[in-house]
Each structure stands twice: as structure tokens, then as C-alpha cells.
Chains A and B, each alone.
Chain A
Amino acid sequence: MKRLCLILLIPLLTGCWDSENIEELSLVVGVGIDKSKKDDEIMLTQQILVPPGNSVQENQAQLKYKNVTVSAQTLHEAIRDSLLITNTVLTNHQRIILINEDVLRKIPMEAIINQSIRDNNTRRSCHVYLTKRPTKEILGRSEDGEIPSNVIYELKDNEHRTNKILPPLTLGKASSNLQSDGSFAIQAVDIRGGKLILKGAGVINNSKLVGVMNDEDIAALNWLNGKVKGGIIEAVQHGKPLSVEVINRTRRKITTELNGDHLTINIEVGYTARLSEDWYGKENSFEKAYLKEVERIAEDEVKKDVKKIAYKLQHDYKTGVAGLYRYVQNQHPKFWEKNKNKWDEIFSKADINYEVDLRIVDFGSKGGIK
């Protein structure tokens, strides 16, 4: 019994060295990285949740977050400097990282996310966004006391309804992309009409920002990749607009062919769709031929867009943002081993054949003249 007591007392010697109560921590939900006024420093803005307090009355009209901004040469130094202002920082709950365009123009992306990747507390599922405006402004833009970081984070759930959003770029994915071919697109955030909005994207190549895309480009890029999960194809028939909503992907096949050093990429995607809107007065959805016609028009529309973005990628950005390199790597490993440093060049010269097959399986509750 005496021995048992002694054993039980041992833990008391250690104390509770890791114990830190949750209300004494600063829960960081979002981080913004800007350029500082000083030339060699970066400015870190941390969005920290402020507990809503106990009583109900206090709850209303109170902002539920605060932003802490500090400048330092490295990110970690900046985080440590922020401790002069606020409680111990806990980055476990961090959901987004915003990076200003100016920063990316000057500093390689790999360096910027380096601290977050090395740190085991920051989750690799944290999303990375690009901003044109200073991140400090974006993180300060709040409506009805909502937390800007959460607003941005939750917008990505609309992926299934619109194709103008890029698939979320997580910290982990960004890191692994940077490790491999180093080119990818990154969703941008902006403010319009006082509201936060997902708008456009940046193209990263070799850790540098090489260009920006608009919403249509994003949609086209999603089509090229076969990453579309929803959204509308707008087309015109008989001079009247119509829209086709994408339901599901039924097929995606990407093959690469080599002819010497010349690469041909064949992309085939198939989708089921729904005729969701048609302004043409004499439409007859009961007619199979009519639906076929609509399908053809929508397919043409997609192909036109894809052609445009392919051209842009190959000639303006000169980089294979779409992640197509993986198919070359898999299908022609020897060629890839030899030429992986010249990938951008090879991609720029490659032929891209794109085929899309839309099948309208539904035209809603209304159709026909009867």
C-alpha cells in the first residue's frame, strides 16, 4: 500500500507543465501576410477569436475577433512578437492563410509557407488564398460581426454549385505542388461592395506569381482538368440564352502521346447535365433531337472556353498549371525523368485535344408546348 501511494505521488512531482487553459490561449483562425513598409520585413496579421463572453447581452453587437498585426523578418519571429500583444497563440484552429500578391512577387511562396509547414500545430488542411488588396484590409472586413476568416473558408463549400471556384488549395497540397513541378493556380479573395468575394486566381510557377486569371478562366481551367463539380454552362440558341447545369462527371480520360519530343495530350470528359433554363419560346424538351441540339451547343461553348484557357496557359503563363504533368510522369516515366526540368517548355509546345461529352438527363418540371 505504501509503495502504491508513492507511485501515485510521482506524477505530482512533474506538475502539469503542458497545461494551458483554453481561455488563456489566442485561437488563430486566419493569417494574412503582407509586405511591410520596411523593405526587408513582412507584416503578419493574425485573426484571433475572442470568446463571446458569458452573458447573453454582451453577446450581441460585439465583434467576435480581433486582428493583431506585427512586422518582422521571418514569420516565426513575427508570431513570437505578437505575443507582446496577445495571449499565447494556438494555430491548431487556423483555417486560412491569405498571401498578398506583392509578397509573392518578391518572395518565393515556398519561403512564405515554410513556417506553417514545419510547424506541427498548423494543420495541413488549412487553405491558402491570394489577395490583391492588403490582407489586413480583407481580414478587417466584417459584416454583422461575422469572422472574415470563416466567411472565406465557408465560401469554398459552394464548389458543388459553381465552377468559378478553384478546388481548395490546402497548405499540404501547396507544399507538395511546390516540391514537384511547382506550378498551380491559387484562388484569390477580394472585396466588392463591402463584401468578401472569391474572385479570380493567381498562377504560381516556381514559387513565383506569374499571372492572374479571372472567373471565366477558372471555370475553363476546371473544365480542362475535369474538376468541375457543378455550375452552369451559359449558351445561346436561336438568339436566346439558355443554361445547362452540370450534375455529375461520368468519365474522365487523359492520355498523353509522345512523338519524339513533341507531346500530345488528349483529354476526354463526360458529364451528365440538366437543362435548367431556356428562354427560347418554341423549345420542346420532349423532343430528343432538341435536347441533342442543346447538348451540342453547350459542348461547343465549353470547348471554346477550354481552347482559350489552353492557349493562355501555353502562351501567356507558359506553365502547366492544370497538373497534367502527372499523366506524363505516369505514362512516360523515362521521358519525364529526362525532361522534367523542361516541363514548362514542353507543355507550351504540346497539342491539347479536348473532348467533352454532355448528356442532358433531366429538363426539370417544365418542357414542351402542351
Chain B
Amino acid sequence: MKSKPLHIKLDQKQEELKSELDMQDDVVFKQIFIPGYEVSGLFVFVNGTMDYRSFNEIVLDLSAAQVETRHRVSIEQLVISKICSVREQDVETYETAKEHIFDGKTLLFIDGMVKGYVLNLVKEKNRTFGEPSTERVVRGPKMGFIESLQENIGLIRQYSNHPSLIVQQQKFGTMEKREVALIYYEGKASDSLLKEVNKRINEVKATDLQDSGMLEELIEDTALTPFPQIQNTERPDKVLAALQEGRVVIMVDGSPFALMAPTTITMLLQSPDDYYERWVAGSFLRIIRYLSLFVTVFLSGIYISLVSFNPGLLPSELAMTIAGTRENVPFPPFVEAIIMEVTIELLREAGIRLPSPIGQTVGLVGGVIIGQAAVQANIVSSLMVIIVSITTITSFTVPQYSFGLAFRALRFGAMIFAAVLGLYGTTLFFIIVISHLSKLTSFKEPYFQPMDFIGKKTWKDAFLRLPKRKKGGDSFGPVRRQNS
């Protein structure tokens, strides 16, 4: 049956196709009669993928066609001229015909002609561009990517009309074919980076992708780390900034998240509106973010080690207060902390899954009521509730959700180290995290990169957001070392 050529007779074609597609109830066969030529035609398409308005226009056009007496036009020429705006290619076999049908195309067969025409009447089902829900900014563009690759690329092209912006597309997957686009600025992105990206992408081409997150996992440097080595974003402005920095952007059809590589740890702590607000505010917020990262990971650990190992390091009054709150609590601080942290993580997970009005209720019920009740029942101390709340709040300040997830997980590591070795263990854990970060790479670029920028001028953008000099004509963008 493979590559069986099409029959000439329309009836035979219809029969053959129908018998092959008898399981598929959503395949529609529509007959048309062209009175001027006295031939009939057949449209085959999958219900729901087609734009009926343009389909109607073509049907009207065809059926209204008259035989011109002065210049005789063959039926083939007539049909081609009528459908030229949507015609893609022609099919010769049933196999390719089927492929095109399920690709969302409309097939037109004319009685007496072997080949069929493939009409692109595909109507993409998209949501409208809206504010990116995962990366909100107070000031700055409120536009986010959507699930259509072509629309997203169009968006990027709209803002960056430079001819050296290169978009390379290739198909991915075995069962469902997905377009994956590689976007970069020629000349800005280094050759070694492009080579590496292409190599990694080619290695995993035969994968079915549902989201760019799946691709991210396949092309990252190492899986044995909690830290994301590739940044993702819904924001076109972030993508444009990344492109100007000489990074490569990878987009997958069907996913509103663009991947940007390589990534460093400081990039994950930068929010676009750092650059849109005044530099004082931007720097302040950036420092706050670094601080909150530290608090997220180490506050509960430090609390545990101070309470069970090094109470001498607390100020006397604070020691009294803590001892007072812990008086009737039956658990050691570590167990207490684990109970609370796990509860909070559960609440957070539950809050995300539920529809948003209920999600908020869960947060309220969990955070306020359970916390209060747990303290009154003497299961946890009130200070522990405060500490857990603080670590939870601070973990939300990380602009990159996946990066925040890494630190939420690391917090438990810090707590275990603190419970076993006290403040010494907490310090040890800090050293382990730092050395791990130093070893990590993202597309062969050091992940901890801006740290060696001290002495070079780019450190300014790592911890602070210092004011920029006016640059003639050149666009704004975070200064970054080009490795070329």
C-alpha cells in the first residue's frame, strides 16, 4: 500500500481514501461541481483545522467559473489560477495525501486529473498575546509569547528588524513533528557557541516535544544539579536583550517559553525592570534579591544550628525569647522546621494546581490558620512559623521560577547539615553549594561567571545596576563578556 499512486477517477480516489480513513470520523469529503467545465471536484480535509471563510471563497470562485470562448483555458489552468494564493504543492500518492490531510491542509482533487492539490487553509488556534503570567513587571512591555512559533518569531522580528538576526527552523520529533527555531544575531553569537548548540540539538532531534522544558533537559550540560543551566522566559524583551548579548535563543512550537543559552547565575537574578527603572531602585532591588536568596536557603538552617548547637551566639534576650517560644514544643528544632517547611511546600503546590480563586483560599487557610493552630497546639514554636514564612516569601523574589525551585530544594539540604553539624555544617553546606556552582557550566561557559569580573568593568551589572553611559545608536542591554 506504501506510496500507492492516485487513481485518475474521482470516485475511485474517494473510495480508496475513505476505506483507508474509515476510522477517522473527523475527515470530511466535500464534492463540488464546476458547471462551466462540467467536471466535479473533491475537497478532503480534517474537520476543525480549516478556515471556512477562505474555503467558501474558493468554492464560490470555482463554481462560478465560465468557459471563456476567446482564450480557451484548460480545467487545470483554471483551478491553479483560482487556488494559487493558498496552493502549496501537489500530491501523487495516497501516502503523501494522507500526511497532508492530517497536517491540517485541505486537498483538492479534480475528476480526470491524477494529482491532487494541497491547499493551505490552516487556521491556527491561538490565544491572544497577553501579559506574561510568570514574569510580571511593574514597568516595561506587557506582552508575552504565545504557543505559536510563527507568531512568536514574528513578534521578535517586529522589534528587531536587523537583517543579521538569523532564524533557523528545523523539525523535531517522530510522531508529531514540531518546529524548533534557533535564533541568534550573526556576528554577535560566537561560532563555538553556535557549533555547540547545533551539535546538541542535532543529537536529540528524534524526540517528541510538548514544551521547551523537555528540550532544555535534553541539551543542558549536566542533569546532576538543582540549578537550571538554561534560562527560559515568556518575555520578548528578555529574548531581545539576550540576543544582543550574543546568546542563542531556542523556541519550540507550542511552547510560550523561549530558551536562552548560555546562562549565568547573575542573569537568573536579574529582572527586566531593573533596567527600566532608575538605577538606584534597580540596584537596591537587586541587592534585596541576593539577600533574599541567602535567606531562603540558610535562614532555617541557621535557626536550627543556633537553637540546638550554638545558643551562645544569640544575644541573651533573643535566647530567652526563643527558649520561651520553644518551651512546650515536643520536637527538636529540625523536626519542627521540617514539619513547617513541608507544610508550606504542600500548600504552595496545592495553590498552584487549583483554580486561582480557590488557590488563594488554600494559601490563606494553610498559611494563617494552620500556622496559628499549630502554634497554639504547641506543635511548632511561633518563631519557627515566622522563619518559615520569611523563607517562603523570600523564595518568591527570584525572578526566574525554575531558579527559585532549586533554592527551595537546597533549603532542605541546609537544614539537614545544620541539624547534624550545627553552624559548622551550615557553613560547610554553603561551601559545597558555592564550589558546585563554580564547577557548573552552561554551554561550556562558567555558570558563576560574573564573579570573576571583579576588576573588569562588567561586575557593575552583576550585583548592582549602575547607570549606563550614553551609547550612540547602540541598543541598551546588559553588558556581558563576549567569549569570541
A in complex with B: yes
Shortest distance between the CB of B254 and any CB in chain A (Å): 33
Within 8 Å CB of B382, what residues of A? 54
Provide 15 A-B residue pairs closer than 8 Å at the C-beta atoms, listed in order of the A residue.
A14-B420, A16-B420, A19-B419, A21-B307, A22-B306, A22-B311, A22-B323, A23-B329, A25-B323, A27-B311, A27-B316, A27-B319, A49-B316, A51-B320, A121-B312
Within 8 Å CB of A52, what residues of B? 320-321, 324
Contact of B326 among A11, A23, A49, A121 (CB under 8 A): A23
Residue of A with least CB distance to B420: A11
Say whether, besides A22-B311, A93-B312, A27 and B420 are in contact (CB < 8 Å).
Answer: no
Residue of A with least CB distance to B328: A54
Q: Is A289 an interface residue (CB 8 A)?
A: no
Determine if A51 and B324 form an interchain contact, defined as CB atoms under 8 angstroms apart.
yes
Shortest distance between the CB of A124 and any CB in chain B (Å): 13
Determine if A93 and B332 form an interchain contact, defined as CB atoms under 8 angstroms apart.
no
Say whether, besides A12-B420, A18-B422, A92-B311, A23 and B316 are in contact (CB < 8 Å).
Answer: no
Residue of B with least CB distance to A91: B312
Q: Is A29 an interface residue (CB 8 A)?
A: yes
- Not counting A15-B420, A21-B307, a sample of 10 additional A-B residue pairs whose C-beta atoms are within 8 angstroms of each other reads A11-B421, A14-B420, A19-B332, A20-B308, A21-B308, A21-B333, A27-B323, A51-B320, A54-B325, A92-B312
Number of residues from B at the complex interface, CB < 8 A: 30
Measured CA separation A92–B312 after assembly (Å): 5
Q: Is A127 an interface residue (CB 8 A)?
A: no
Residue of A with least CB distance to B381: A54
> Which are the 7 A-B pairs with shortest beta-carbon distances?
A92-B312, A51-B324, A51-B323, A93-B316, A19-B308, A23-B326, A52-B324
Shortest distance between the CB of A56 and any CB in chain B (Å): 11
Q: Is B378 an interface residue (CB 8 A)?
A: yes
Q: Is A136 an interface residue (CB 8 A)?
A: no
Within 8 Å CB of B241, what residues of A? none
Determine if B326 and A19 form an interchain contact, defined as CB atoms under 8 angstroms apart.
no
Tell me the chain B residues, 295-309 only, with Cβ under 8 Å from chain A: 306-309
Measured CA separation A180–B420 after assembly (Å): 44
- Chief secondary structure at chain B's binding surface: helix
Say whether, besides A16-B308, A19-B309, A51-B327, A95 and B333 are in contact (CB < 8 Å).
Answer: no
Within 8 Å CB of A23, what residues of B? 323, 326-327, 329
Shortest distance between the CB of B420 and any CB in chain A (Å): 5
Shortest distance between the CB of A97 and any CB in chain B (Å): 15
Shortest distance between the CB of B147 and any CB in chain A (Å): 36
Determine if B422 and A21 form an interchain contact, defined as CB atoms under 8 angstroms apart.
no
Q: Is B50 an interface residue (CB 8 A)?
A: no
Tell me the chain A residues, 60-93 only, with Cβ under 8 Å from chain B: 64, 90, 92-93
Measured CA separation A52–B325 after assembly (Å): 8
Contact of B332 among A21, A64, A95 (CB under 8 A): A21
Measured CA separation A54–B324 after assembly (Å): 6
Shortest distance between the CB of A157 and any CB in chain B (Å): 15
Determine if A16 and B419 form an interchain contact, defined as CB atoms under 8 angstroms apart.
yes
Within 8 Å CB of A54, what residues of B? 324-325, 327-328, 378, 382
Within 8 Å CB of A14, what residues of B? 420
Using an 8 Å CB-CB cutoff, how does the interface string of B318-353 with A read, 1 for contact, 0 for none? 011111111111001100000000000000000000
Within 8 Å CB of A49, what residues of B? 316, 319-320, 323
Q: Is A193 an interface residue (CB 8 A)?
A: no
Say whether, besides A14-B420, A49-B320, A52-B320, A22 and B312 are in contact (CB < 8 Å).
Answer: no
Binding site for B on A (CB under 8 A): 11-12, 14-16, 18-23, 25, 27, 29, 49, 51-54, 64, 90, 92-93, 95, 121
Within 8 Å CB of A15, what residues of B? 420
Determine if A93 and B327 form an interchain contact, defined as CB atoms under 8 angstroms apart.
no
Within 8 Å CB of A20, what residues of B? 308-309
Contact of A90 among B311, B322, B325 (CB under 8 A): B311
Residue of A with least CB distance to B416: A11
Determine if B324 and A53 form an interchain contact, defined as CB atoms under 8 angstroms apart.
yes
Within 8 Å CB of A19, what residues of B? 308-309, 332, 419, 422
Determine if A18 and B309 form an interchain contact, defined as CB atoms under 8 angstroms apart.
yes
Shortest distance between the CB of B438 and any CB in chain A (Å): 18
Determine if B327 and A29 form an interchain contact, defined as CB atoms under 8 angstroms apart.
no
Within 8 Å CB of B333, what residues of A? 21
Shortest distance between the CB of A36 and any CB in chain B (Å): 28
Measured CA separation A90–B322 after assembly (Å): 15
Measured CA separation A12–B321 after assembly (Å): 30
Within 8 Å CB of A12, what residues of B? 420
Determine if B420 and A21 form an interchain contact, defined as CB atoms under 8 angstroms apart.
no
Measured CA separation A54–B322 after assembly (Å): 10
Within 8 Å CB of A18, what residues of B? 309, 422
Say whether, besides A11-B421, A19-B332, A95 and B323 are in contact (CB < 8 Å).
Answer: no
Q: Give the one of B312, B321, B332, B378 with max A CB within 10 A.
A: B312
Residue of B with least CB distance to A95: B316
Shortest distance between the CB of A62 and any CB in chain B (Å): 11
Within 8 Å CB of B332, what residues of A? 19, 21
Within 8 Å CB of B316, what residues of A? 27, 29, 49, 93, 95
Within 8 Å CB of B417, what residues of A? 11
Shortest distance between the CB of B21 and any CB in chain A (Å): 49
Determine if B327 and A22 form an interchain contact, defined as CB atoms under 8 angstroms apart.
no
Measured CA separation A93–B306 after assembly (Å): 14
Within 8 Å CB of B425, what residues of A? 11
Within 8 Å CB of B419, what residues of A? 16, 19
Within 8 Å CB of B327, what residues of A? 23, 51, 53-54
Shortest distance between the CB of A180 and any CB in chain B (Å): 29
Shortest distance between the CB of B184 and any CB in chain A (Å): 36
Shortest distance between the CB of B321 and any CB in chain A (Å): 8
Shortest distance between the CB of A176 and any CB in chain B (Å): 23
Tell me the chain B residues, 58-115 only, with Cβ under 8 Å from chain A: none
Measured CA separation A18–B328 after assembly (Å): 22
Within 8 Å CB of B307, what residues of A? 21-22
Within 8 Å CB of B326, what residues of A? 21-23, 51
Within 8 Å CB of A21, what residues of B? 307-308, 326, 332-333
Within 8 Å CB of B420, what residues of A? 11-12, 14-16
